[in-house]
Structures are given as C-alpha cells and as structure tokens.
Structure 1
C-alpha cells in the first residue's frame, strides 16, 4: 500500500531518513558523549535543496517523538511505508547540542572511516560560510538498523561495497544523500564530497592538469594546443599514397548545374570522386559548389592577406601568453565532468518550479558535462527555449496547452485542405520528406520496421495469383518500402516525423522542406517522442539552423569563409599547408557544419555534442571552434603525410566515427580561450599603435552568444521544393 499522505502543517516535517545511535563527542571522556539521531526531513512545500539534515539529541525528544524516530530508523528494514511526521528539528540548543542545516547551506561532507577498533567512523559537515558543525560519530555496534543490515549482509556474504570497502553507517548515509542531492567526490581529497557543487567548486577541488614542460624545441611549438592523450592510427595513414581511384563520370550531377564557363580549377575540383560522393549525399553540397566554389576560392585567397597576423603581432602575443599559452586555471577549466543527474537538475529549482540558480551556472554545467539521458528531454526544452528559463511549473503547464492548440491548428491547414494537397508543389514536398524519412537513422530500434510477409514482385507480373514469401536479409522490407513505396511508412515514429515536417511547411512557407532537415529532426524526436513538443523544439532549432538551408547557400558560404579565417588566424602553419594541397576551401567541413556533425559520431555522442553547442556558453557559433579543434587534433599528420586535395578530403571524410569526442571538446575549448586572449591582446596593442591590426568582423562575431539568424525570403513563382 502507498504511504498515508496528509498536508504538513507549519512547524512539521516528514522524516525521510533516520539513523539511531549516532553521537557527538564533546570531550575525550565517554561520559560526555551525546546520543541522538541523524535525520533528513522535509517540510511543507520543500524542494530537495530545502531538506534539513539534523542531529537531534534523544534527551530533547518527547516519548511520542522518540518512538517515531526509532520506528523511522527501522522502516526500510521492516517494509513500513507509514508517514512519519514530527516537529521541525531545532536549529540550535546549546544545552542539548542539537542542530539542523538546510541542504542548500551545506558545502561539503567528509567521511572518516572507522579504524580497527580504535575509533568510530564519523561525518564532518562543512557549511558554505566555512563553519564546521559538531562531528557526528556512528556507533554502529549500538544502532539497531545498522546491526540488522550487517546481519543480512553477512548471511549473503556481501560485507563489502562494490569498491571493496567495509560498509558502515556513514556509507549508508551517503547512499541516501545521493537520492536528494548531487554529490561529487573531490579528486584532491577522496574523503570529501561536494554537495550540489557549482562549476567553480568543481575546479577548485580538482588538481590542475600538468602542462608539458618546454623543451629545446619549445619556440617552434609556441602555438600548439596541448595534446590530450591523442591516439592516432599512424599505420592506417602510411598507405595514403594508395588512395583508391574511381572511374570518372562523363557528366555528373554537379557539372549539370555548373555554368559551362566555370573556371577549369573548379571543374577539376567537382570531378574529384570524394566531392562527388558528398554531393550525392547532400544536394545542398552540389548547389554550394555550383554557385559558390569559384567565389569562395577567390575570397579565401584574398582573405589570406587580411587574416594572417604579421610577425610582430605574433611575437607580442607569444610574449604575452608564453610558451605554455594558457594558465593552469584555464587548462583545468576545460576538463570534462560527469553528466548532470536528475537529483542535481531538481536541485536547480525551488518549490514553485522556478530556477534558484543563474542560467549561466546551469549552462556552464551542461557545457562541461552534458546531461544524463533520463532528464535530457526536459533540459532540451529549456535549451531550445520552448520553456523560458524564468518560467514556473504552473507557467509550463499553460505553455504546453497553448503549444498543443497551435500545433493542431497548423496541422489542420494541410491535413484538411484537399486543394492544397493536390498541388504539384505540395506533392513534391511530401515525396521529398517521405524519401528522406525512410532512410534517416534506420539503425535505431525506434525507427525499425517489424518484419512482415510480402508479395513476390515476379508473381505480380504474371496472371497467376501472387505467392507469399518471407522477407530475407538480402531483401529486407525496409529497402522494399524505400525503393518502391516511400509513402508506405509503417513505423509509427517515422510517420509522426512526416507529420511534423509537413506541418513545418505550413509554419515556414518560405523555406519548406530541404534535404538534411530530417537529420536535425531525428535526435529531437528520439529524445522527446512527443509530436507537439518535437515540432516546437524543431522550430526553435531551425531558427538558428535555417541559414544552412536557404536557397542561395549564403548561410553555408558565410560559415565556411568564417571557418577559413579562423584557421588562418589560429592555425597558420596548417593553413599554409592546406593551401599547398589546394584545400583551403575546407569543403570537407560542409557536411559537418550543415547537420552539426550528425554523421561524424555515434548517435549518443551526437546528443551530447548538440546539448553542449545549444548552451551558447562561449559563442553561438561554437561549432566552428569545434571544427578548428578537429583540424588542430589532426594538424601534425596532415602536414607530415598529406600532399594533395584528394588525400586531405579522404582523410577528413574517413575520420567519421573515429574521433574522440571528449578530447575534441577539451581541445576546442582551449582554442576558444586562446582566441579570446589573442583578441584581447590585439585590442590592447591597437590602443598604442598608429597602424592598427585589423581583425575581421566575422571573427569578432565569434565572441558573441547571440544566435545568428538568417531567414529564407519569399519563394519565387514556380520554384520547386528542396
């Protein structure tokens, strides 16, 4: 039976946890020991951060209260679920040594393990203001609940914890605390656990990462980012000279759209087999090449005169930063941390569901650790601003109802309009959506079809009745649907994705559907699996991603040129080598930027990367620093081994699913911190110089957290979809 519930009155608390026979040792004499209860309790309208951790002396309890505390101590063992309500524990009674402290006021807890008969294990509670509360000693040999638990463990031969340590009252208390707060073990002092730590707390209690000591060649490596356990498969790339060649096509799809008067170098670029492969994967890549390749190349060459710093400025920057580039604090800050747990997330909110910490604090935690899958859906609704950060729980209920109404009104505009559905444009959009949905992330269990019997194609061509045969691995049903009947979407989740994209056509009539948008929708659907929430999350996501899909490709062009400038600015030696390889257009990043590295990592890693990028913690265009991090991580092997455009393109394409996400996140953060420091130095030097160093406005914009929005204009008359 569920526990009996009743409304708590002012001055009352519900006992969530009780440990009996804990003591205070005011002096060395046993006669002075104070026996009592360690408890965790919850008051009216309390959140986890309001929970009280208390020591209550037995001598200060009435007979009724003493009985309730003793019963609560044994509740978990005897299976009792009765609500235990007592008077709120006293904050401080000097004569009785009792005290209480809210969870939000606790900074850390230190566990001091018992030592072979010499002394009892104890817990030290440190508050935010640095006060140490009286130390609590666990007399496990007297505590009824501890003795019963120990007896059960002995019978099942489970005396030790998973880590091999003896289980005692303090470890049991810590296990319960994990349910109500975020505990992080300090790497400086393993016996200390930080309670709901802020990012600065985590950094202060983590050892600084040692930076490589400068050696004889330190001057040559002044602008090298520290190498974080990079493992490169050198053997794989010793055979780059044997890159496979492909038979040339006489007339490929890209050439069909390129002006016949395009410069010869551009035609040669388009004919490269690796370019053809990417062009076939994303139509946008073909359009990009057809419309912008020549201009991008010209602008990139022109920009080389603008975005390489002169030797004098490099010397000044190097002198300022030193051979080690970044401080210990900066290197330490870039470390990765554990994901935000549900208990930690819950502690960010008060009883009304409003944030009790700043948005920047939360984004800092997400940026450096991500979130656990169990709360990812809720967190992303905030990151995508479907839910405002300053909303209450009641506000979010109202917002949900409003969004549901708006969605169904939009959906009705196409689902109930026969005339609209009969237009060639709408049918073309529907076909494009269904075709792409049928091949998006079909490796995920959520999007797989159940196997079924199907009709033999050969029998349909004759006059004999069709025969039924089982599906085989060589001819799976999914392929049959994809090839011959894209409208036959049998998977209910894929069907809902189709509905969402058709409705988005009504929401954004100018843009409509463009290839690649299913790649952006799929992760949102997997996380939320709610048609209404997925739709509105997608619209918010597309606010920032729409520039990737505008018809003239200006959004992608701008990002590629900005990345070009960033590589020149931050990785000048690599850029010079790419220039020799005719690869400064960085075309191999087109797919990565278009769908935010969706094809470069395993699905769960993509989710982690996206939630980090969605924080806009350093920059709304942080995905460009991540791209620079990929290049930085592979700089040495590219310079030492690659000589031609096709070698560079193949090498970069083959990195897909072979990159270490955490290492790249660390590297890209260090690159950003270095970039910001370099800009600061240049700005300072410009104050004292008549001839100023010009930094591109596009590079300066990388320091902004404001989302770059570029909307598609009205669709030209007669223009098709995609």
Structure 2
C-alpha cells in the first residue's frame, strides 16, 4: 500500500524533499568537536517553493525513528526525480487543480530554527541571499557550502564528508561503473553537487560573474549589477574608424567566405570600393576568387519594389518631405542635451558593451512569483520588468503569454484561471457554431472568398516547422540541371500575394487540409473572420497566429489569445492603411529627432520613406528574425514596460546599429533598400534589445531636457512680457511614444458587397 495520502500536514510537520546525510559543522579545529547531522530541504503546509526550509539538523536531536526516515530519504533520492514531488503553487493552464498528496514516509517534525539549540539552523529559501560552493581540494579535503542570509547573517559552514555519506558513495559507484567519475559537467563529483542540483529544482540561482563559486538566490537586477565586474570609467574610448575590409592575411583559411560576405553586403558604388581594395591589397588566391563571374555578380541582383506598395510609399515620402527638418533640433539644443547626457554621441560603444541582458525566466523562477493559491506575490510591474530584461524559457512560455496577452488576469488564482479556461472553451464553441450551422452564410461569395484566402495562406505559413509539415514532399524550385545551387523553397511575403503559388488551385485543392494543426488554424481564422466582421481576415494574420498556436496547441485558448493580440495589431491591417502609415510617419519623425545625421544621409539617398520597414512593422519582424528570436521579441514587446510602441525603438535600433555603414558606403535608394532587405535573418537580437532600451531611455531624457528648457523660456518670456519665441514644440506623435497604453484603431464598418483584405 502506498504511503502517499491526501492528508494535509500539521503546522508542526514538514515533508522532506531532499536529504544529505553525514554532513558536519566544524565549530573548532579539533575533529572531536565536529557535529554530524543532516542537510535537508523540507516543505510545510500550504508552502510555495520560496517557503521551503533549508535546514541542518544534528543527529543527536533526532529520535532513532526520525534518523531512519532521514536516511531513507537520503538514499531513496538517488533514483527520485525531485520534480515529481508536488510543491503546490501555480497550476498549469491545461491541467486540473488537485489536492496535494503527502508522502507520510517523508513527514517529520519541523526542524529547529535556532542556531543556539545544539547548532541546528533552519531558514526559508526566500531569506537566503547567496550560497558559496567550495569544492573539495588538496587544501580543503572536505567540500563545503557557505550560506548567507538577506539580513547579513552567515550560517555555520556545512562540510560534506563524502567518504561517510551513503548516497554520495552510492552515486560515486554508479559514476565509476559508467567510467565517468566527473559527471555531465566535467567536474569531479562530490556531495555538494547533489545539494545544489536539488536546490535549483526549487529556486532560481545565478552564478556571480565576479566570483564563480558564489550563487545568488532569486537575484534581482540590483543584485546582479552589484556582483558584476566593475568597468574602468577612465579607460580611453577607442575612436571609431571608417569601415575597412578585414585584413585577409589574418585568416587566410577563412578568407574566401569572409570576402564573399563582405562583398555581398554592399551593392553598386560600395561594392566597387570593396573590389578596388581587394584588387590593391589582397593576396593572389583571393584575387582569383574575386575574379570569378559568380562572385562579381553578388550584390548586382536586386528585387524590385512591389507595385502594390509603391503608391503607399509615395504618400509617406510626400508627407516626410513636407515635415522635413520639422522634428530636427537646432545645434545648440543638441549641444545642451549632449552635455547633460555626458556624450556627443547618441549611443557610445561603452554604453552598449557595459549593458547586458538577464537570463531567461525558468520554470522554477516563474513558479516562485506565485503564492500557494496561484496568485502573484510580486507586482505586475516587477514581473514585466523581469520579462522585458530576460524573456522566458520555452517551458513556461505558454502560461506566461496568457498573462501578457491578458487572457488570464494578473490578479487571478490558479483555481480562477481553470474556471476561465472552461468558459473560454464554451464561448469559442458558441462563436464557431454560428458559421458552422449557418448554411446560407457559407454560400455567400464573400464567405467563400475569405475561406479560400485563409486556406491558401495557412498552407504556406511556417511550413518549415515540424508541427506544420505534411508527409508529402514540398514543391521546390530547381535552377537548372546539374547546377551546384541547392533547390530552394519560395517564401511568400505577408503583405503581398505569392505569384509563384497563384495557380496552386490547378495543382491541388487548398481546402483539403490533412495536417491537423493547420486544420485548427483554419478553424480559428474563419471564426475570427466572423468575430471581427468589419476587419475579417487579412493576409499576414497567419504570421501572427502561428507562434500562438505552436505555444498553446489549444484551439480555444489560441483563439482568445489571438483576438487580444489583434486588438493592438488591427491598425496594421485596416483597409485604408492609415494605421501603418501613421506608424511609419512616427518612425520617420523619431529618426529625425534621434538620428538627424542618418536622416540627412537617407534624404540624399531618397530613402526617407523608410520603405524597407513596412514588412518589419506589419508582422513585428517575423520575417527578419529566426523563430526563437521572434518568440523572445514578441513577449518583450507585449510587456509594454516602457512604452506600448517599443517596436518603433527596435526599428530605430536597427538603423542606429547600421548607421556607420549606411553613411559611409551607401549613396542610392536601391543600395539602401537592398542592404536593409539583406539584413533579414542576420540580425542579432540581444544587442538590438539593449540598443533599443538605451535609445528609449535617451529619448525620454531628451524630452525631459527640452521640456525643462521650454519651462525656463516661458518664465523668462512672462517676466519680459514677450511672445514665446524659441519654444521647441514636441509633436503628439513623439510624446505618444512615452505612453504605455496600447494604441487601438478599429476598422470602420464594412459595406455590403465589399471584399476581404
């Protein structure tokens, strides 16, 4: 009969989660004074991971029966996965809430908390600040751990006598039989590794970058900064030099690919400059590579702008020219701002390099944010700050996204969220039945056309992902017989029809969807077409839906998450394109305000319409980043931590990151357009996230400085009874970038007979 029962713990009881026997305190240098005991992790009633007790209990304070229990848990944990122990706390969105089962064989009296009572101690994990792990060495035969609490107290050092501990000896024997005494990480096995491994199942720890032996427990950003290496503020700043071709002699073995990559980056005049430099300085083998026709052709191929966007681009260009220099500041204002910001550069290389991203939120850390009932124990802003600066691991991404998209209220309990899931399922089924049971509606031309658009688009969305792949082979394009070029699959653009697949109906029936996940995506989009009748389905929505479905794989939850996402993205798809045009105009003004020199250069290149950013903003960089990077960027943007329009600062970061190359090497519209288009799948997410955050913070400080200058001028003008000449006007578009409220723009009523998007 199993000892696991549903009986609740008493206040005086705990359930042992982990035990290491034969650990010692060394109060003096004499072995005779050593105190042997058990190091344990235990859980009391209604406890979360943060409430787990870390305890040292001397053997002489335990009864024979209790010692037997501690030893049984110690040896038994060798083959036990600690994650199978129910810890209460949050409940997964797709699981039923259930009572916590207690293993009575692990239940013991609560450990003593006072150091004075025979050297025992016990503290909650939430009270621990750091743990120093000292491995066994020639100078310290016994490995040990030093535990520091948040109130500055250092608990007695715990020594692991591995030659006496049954579990350590047994584990070492297993490793020896595997001919691997070092374990998975290549380090010598000892008892402290078992302890840290168990601890990290329950609480977030991060290794200090200053002292690798120190682990910070549930650290915040301040803790990490305090334990980061100090920078030499007086170190000389390297002067930026013009872009140069890499010195090929330093890496001759890889020269072929380096040179090809450099040449492929530029076109027209810039490409010719590079080739001239190669011709003058490169070794003979490299000159031979460059002289090949295939290499000379690199950079000359250029995909012309899509016709359907040309009219829109011209409108943006006209408006940009009308507002030209309106949002640029006078040089004296820039000088004042630069003086206060401490730099003549908008972003120095030092600022970029000294800033770093945090580690992603793990499942253990995410669960530590909640109390026993599943309610947040932190503020929403604290959680959003943590997500913004680190993102979340894939193991909890689905649940976190439901909070970020407000499918789950931030103040809900685990039980309330389970009830919500059931109500969402019911509401979705009711919506779906409206079109399933309406035969008359399904026979209308509009409905048939929308259904066909949806079916056609989902057949070509993210088909490289295993979840969306069919067994049949995908159609490929072969250049020519015997060609060395690999066959390629054509990737459609979200904003324009795919010409190569325009005649797919002649090859297969797009309505015959055999992949079950694509079928559910179709059902979701058709239901959304009915849910939002004015907007309906518009091409590009499949790109927004796909990541949500992959994470949830739950039709009803995916639908409601998609509707929440579309609340903020609907302005990108309205028929008159006013939402996209406004964002592009705002980005144009932001560029003038923050990067005036780059704006002036783009003006010379006839590229101030920022045509190349249309697709990036339309589907939030989904076609420019790798899949995992897209997921990370979206969850960061959903936090609205600084602003609900942080995607514009991310776009500005891309321009800022490439400013030097653009200014020094590109002089024509086609060169700029090709260069920006070629950045697709070559962007480095973390540096851009750092840059975008710094750009926003500097933008906010610039606005504050200008507002202060305006206030001083108004005071002077009032005293002198003169007009407000010299007051700097900051437009509503730029001030709106400081707001966290999501910008909502709904489509107007769709007239009878009007087609879909």
Q: Distance in 2 between matches of 1:96 and 1:328?
A: 56
Aligned partner of 1:699 in structure 2 is 734
Counterparts in 2 of 1:312 and 1:220: CA distance versus 1, 3 Å: farther
Q: Distance in 2 between matches of 1:564 and 1:363?
A: 28
Q: Distance in 2 between matches of 1:194 and 1:329?
A: 26
Q: Is the 8 A contact 1:208 1:328 kept in 2?
A: no
Aligned partner of 1:154 in structure 2 is 176
Aligned partner of 2:610 in structure 1 is 586
Q: Distance in 1 between matches of 2:239 and 2:470?
A: 58
Kindly provide the CA deviation profile for residues 93-145 of structure 1, in whole angstroms up to 9, marking residues without a partner as x.
Answer: 51311111111111111112222164422111111222211211112222222
Aligned partner of 1:53 in structure 2 is 54
Q: Distance in 2 between matches of 1:473 and 1:490?
A: 24
State the Cα distance separating 1:200 from its structure 2 match: 2.4
Q: Distance in 2 between matches of 1:569 and 1:474?
A: 41
Of 498, 508, 517, the match for 1:493: 517
State the Cα distance separating 1:305 from its structure 2 match: 3.0
Secondary structure of the 2:530 match is: helix
TM-score w.r.t. length of structure 1:
0.86
Secondary structure of the 2:36 match is: strand
Aligned partner of 1:305 in structure 2 is 325
Of 520, 540, 543, the match for 1:519: 543
Counterparts in 2 of 1:671 and 1:417: CA distance versus 1, 3 Å: same
Kindly provide the CA deviation profile for residues 42-94 of structure 1, in whole angstroms up to 9, marking residues without a partner as x.
Answer: 11222211111001111111121111112211113477998411011111151
Q: Distance in 2 between matches of 1:150 and 1:310?
A: 72
Aligned partner of 1:368 in structure 2 is 389
Secondary structure of the 2:680 match is: coil
Aligned partner of 1:28 in structure 2 is 29
Q: Is 1:132 the counterpart of 2:167 in the alignment?
A: no
Secondary structure of the 1:15 match is: strand
Q: Is 1:182 the counterpart of 2:183 in the alignment?
A: no
Aligned partner of 2:341 in structure 1 is 321
Q: Is 1:92 the counterpart of 2:114 in the alignment?
A: yes
Aligned partner of 2:99 in structure 1 is none
Secondary structure of the 2:152 match is: coil
Q: Distance in 1 between matches of 2:118 and 2:53?
A: 18
Q: Is the 8 A contact 1:434 1:486 kept in 2?
A: yes
State the Cα distance separating 1:336 from its structure 2 match: 1.7
Unaligned segments of structure 1, at least 5 residues: 222-230, 245-272, 280-285, 455-471
Structural RMSD (CA):
3.1
Of 432, 442, 451, the match for 1:430: 451
State the Cα distance separating 1:355 from its structure 2 match: 0.8
Q: Is the 8 A contact 1:18 1:37 kept in 2?
A: yes
Kindly provide the CA deviation profile for residues 350-391 of structure 1, in whole angstroms up to 9, marking residues without a partner as x.
Answer: 110111112222222222221111211111111101001111
Q: Is 1:447 the counterpart of 2:465 in the alignment?
A: no
Counterparts in 2 of 1:679 and 1:501: CA distance versus 1, 3 Å: same
Aligned partner of 1:256 in structure 2 is none
Aligned partner of 2:674 in structure 1 is 650
Aligned partner of 1:4 in structure 2 is 4
For residues 541-620 of structure 1, the aligned pairs below 5 Å read 541-620=565-644
State the Cα distance separating 1:623 from its structure 2 match: 0.5
Of 661, 673, 695, the match for 1:671: 695
Q: Is the 8 A contact 2:270 2:666 kept in 1?
A: no
State the Cα distance separating 1:31 from its structure 2 match: 2.8
Aligned partner of 1:506 in structure 2 is 530
Counterparts in 2 of 1:220 and 1:687: CA distance versus 1, 3 Å: farther
State the Cα distance separating 1:13 from its structure 2 match: 1.0
Q: Distance in 2 between matches of 1:132 and 1:573?
A: 55
Q: Distance in 2 between matches of 1:109 and 1:51?
A: 16
Aligned partner of 1:172 in structure 2 is 194
Q: Is the 8 A contact 2:617 2:647 kept in 1?
A: yes
Aligned partner of 2:292 in structure 1 is none
State the Cα distance separating 1:164 from its structure 2 match: 3.3
Aligned partner of 2:746 in structure 1 is 711
For residues 13-412 of structure 1, the aligned pairs below 5 Å read 13-77=14-78, 83-92=105-114, 94-116=116-138, 118-208=140-230, 233-241=261-269, 277-278=305-306, 286=308, 289-290=310-311, 292-323=312-343, 334-412=355-433
State the Cα distance separating 1:297 from its structure 2 match: 2.1
Of 440, 452, 469, the match for 1:419: 440
Q: Distance in 2 between matches of 1:368 and 1:124?
A: 29
Counterparts in 2 of 1:526 and 1:278: CA distance versus 1, 3 Å: farther
Q: Is the 8 A contact 2:48 2:368 kept in 1?
A: yes
Q: Distance in 2 between matches of 1:158 and 1:22?
A: 24
Q: Is the 8 A contact 2:263 2:271 kept in 1?
A: no
Q: Is 1:628 the counterpart of 2:652 in the alignment?
A: yes
Q: Distance in 2 between matches of 1:688 and 1:26?
A: 67
Q: Is the 8 A contact 1:90 1:99 kept in 2?
A: yes
- The number of equivalent residue pairs is 659
Q: Which one is further off, 363-372 or 385-394?
A: 363-372
State the Cα distance separating 1:199 from its structure 2 match: 2.5
